[in-house]
């Protein structure tokens, strides 16, 4: 397999090229690897992707382990395991496991083969929790009270459409009439529509197969901002849409900002009913609602992440097995997860497993994943209350429920925002890897595919 390669500009080559090695050449400097007549520079970064650059020699073959995703020539991320050929002046780009500090590789050049360890410097995560917090603050400043009938509901709809369009996605604005919607007294009763906004990215090889990720953007009337429920989840979907805009996929991707969840899961239900032809073609749905506020948050006593998978039974069990493999093998993350079914698993939750936009997908037999904090009862200090703000999510990430309403100084706010961002990343990266590996075919939530999962991890 040839990697995705870029010929570096002459100026860059001048800065990193070295004289042709002789037999008595000294050992390579840190970040440099000498194999045969090849000199490779490692440890750089392109966004969140790490780089290996061949500065000298005609060719080197680099084999990454299976738990590393390599950027293929067509722009897809694919599991490693096959040699990647790099020619002089070219780079190979790869995504190391989320929690890894180094990556072992095998390099072959000029008849010599060596195993090397590439140290990983600090990289901006491919799906950034800091970006989610940033987007949440934009919503809080510009689009408070996103309930049907409020001016900001329509403004938010326009914002999401523009956001997806700027990523070059096809945009669908899907309206569901809701004659009996309850509007705030200040607005008065009126016939309104529940509106959902979806961004579509067409797949390269299987465009009629779909992976869908979504979260609802509407909030209840008794809260102004709805940061935890569910601005954070919607912004996680937008951050994932940004990440996937940098890549290609075999299957088509759909990113949904659902309306009407708080009125009875109306937007996603109506969209599925209006698109029956898509239902048998959706291979995975990942839902983001009440996202964040789990491991590593709150810092005083980190809460486990509940991963609810469905439909309950073989499909949900297979998806849970894939999720475990993603966390352990592909993310290299020692984070506490609790696994439950969507329909019947209520051991760690508070009856929320089947109360969001994933349930109409599950009801149609589509594999679904919904992640949230195990300490959801404590998080109810925020949900559906005026206290549900980004500031209080930050305070909760530091101090738990006891921190809600507590003023924060600038240092505490930074620490809390970092904990909140890592919490978002833990849940988003699990969804990201499941989507990438489902798209690649290394994972499917049908029981017959479990041997394929074992092969993908070997």
Residue ranges per structural domain of the chain: 10-119, 129-457
Q: Is the Cα torsion angle 421, 423, 428, 433 positive or negative in sign?
A: positive
The answer to whether the bond into 296 is cis (omega within 30° of 0) is yes
Both tokens of 445, joined, read 């939530």
- Return the number of other C-beta atoms located less than 10 Å from residue 400's C-beta: 21
Question: What is this structure's pTM?
Answer: 0.88
Topology at the third CATH level for domain 129-457: Aminopeptidase (3.40.630)
Q: SS3 sequence, 294-327?
A: CCCCCCCCCCCEEEEEECCCHHHHHHHHHHHHHH
**Tokens 């299957």 appear where?**
251
- List the pLDDT tens digit at each of the 458 positions of the chain: 444 433 333 323 233 333 333 333 444 455 889 999 999 998 766 568 899 999 999 999 999 999 999 999 999 999 999 999 999 999 999 999 988 888 999 999 999 999 999 888 776 789 999 999 999 999 999 998 898 878 899 999 999 999 999 999 999 999 987 644 443 333 333 346 789 999 999 999 999 999 999 999 999 988 899 999 999 999 999 999 999 999 999 999 999 999 999 988 999 999 999 999 999 999 999 999 999 999 999 999 999 999 999 999 999 999 999 999 999 999 999 899 999 999 876 555 556 788 899 999 999 999 999 999 999 888 888 999 999 999 999 999 999 999 999 999 999 999 999 999 999 999 999 999 999 999 998 876 544 443 333 333 32
Note whether 352 and 430 are within 8 A (CB): no
Note whether 201 and 244 are within 8 A (CB): yes
pLDDT of residue 273: 95
- Give 116-174 pLDDT, tens digit per residue: 998 887 767 899 999 999 999 999 999 988 988 788 999 999 999 999 999 999 999 99
Give me the phi and psi of 357, to 5 degrees please: -70, -5
């Amino acid at each position: 397999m040839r990697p995705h390669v870029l010929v570096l500009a002459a100026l860059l080559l001048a800065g990193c090229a070295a004289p042709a090695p002789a037999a008595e050449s000294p050992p390579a400097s840190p970040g440099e690897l000498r194999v045969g007549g090849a000199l490779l520079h490692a440890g750089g970064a392109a966004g969140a992707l790490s780089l290996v650059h061949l500065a000298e020699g005609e060719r080197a073959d680099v084999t990454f382990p299976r738990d590393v995703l390599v950027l293929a020539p067509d722009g897809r991320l694919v599991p490693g395991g096959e040699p990647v050929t790099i020619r002089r002046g070219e780079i190979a780009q790869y995504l190391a496991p989320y929690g890894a500090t180094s990556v072992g590789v095998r390099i072959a050049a000029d008849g010599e083969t060596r195993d090397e360890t590439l140290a990983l410097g600090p990289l901006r995560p491919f799906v950034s929790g800091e970006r989610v917090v940033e987007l949440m603050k934009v919503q809080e400043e510009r689009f408070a009270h996103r309930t049907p009938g409020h001016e900001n509901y329509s403004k938010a709809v326009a914002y999401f459409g523009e956001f997806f369009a700027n990523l070059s996605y096809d945009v669908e604005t899907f309206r569901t009439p809701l004659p009996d919607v309850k509007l705030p007294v200040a607005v008065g009763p009126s016939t309104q529509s529940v509106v959902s906004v979806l961004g579509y990215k067409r797949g390269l090889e299987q465009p009629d197969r779909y992976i869908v990720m979504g979260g609802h953007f509407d909030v209840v009337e008794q809260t102004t901002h709805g940061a935890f429920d569910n601005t954070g989840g919607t912004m996680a979907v937008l951050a994932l849409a940004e990440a996937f805009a940098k890549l290609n996929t075999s299957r088509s991707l759909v990113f949904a900002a659902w309306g009407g969840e708080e009125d009875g899961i109306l937007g996603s239900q109506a969209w599925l009913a209006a698109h029956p032809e898509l239902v048998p073609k959706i291979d995975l749905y990942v839902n983001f609602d009440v996202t964040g506020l789990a491991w590593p948050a709150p810092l005083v006593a980190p809460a486990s992440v509940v991963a609810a998978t469905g439909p309950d039974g073989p499909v949900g069990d297979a998806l849970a097995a894939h999720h475990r493999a993603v966390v352990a093998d592909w993310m290299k993350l020692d984070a506490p997860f609790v696994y439950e079914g969507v329909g019947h698993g209520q051991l760690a939750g508070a009856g929320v497993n089947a109360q969001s936009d994933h349930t109409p997908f599950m009801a149609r037999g589509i594999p679904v994943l919904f992640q949230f904090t195990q300490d959801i009862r404590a998080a109810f200090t925020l949900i559906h209350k005026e206290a549900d703000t980004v500031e209080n999510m930050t305070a909760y990430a530091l101090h738990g429920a006891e921190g809600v309403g507590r003023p924060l100084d600038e240092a505490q706010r930074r620490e809390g925002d970092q904990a909140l961002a890592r919490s978002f990343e833990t849940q988003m990266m699990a969804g990201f890897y499941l989507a990438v590996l489902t798209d690649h075919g290394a994972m499917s939530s049908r029981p017959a595919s479990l041997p394929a999962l074992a092969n993908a991890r070997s």
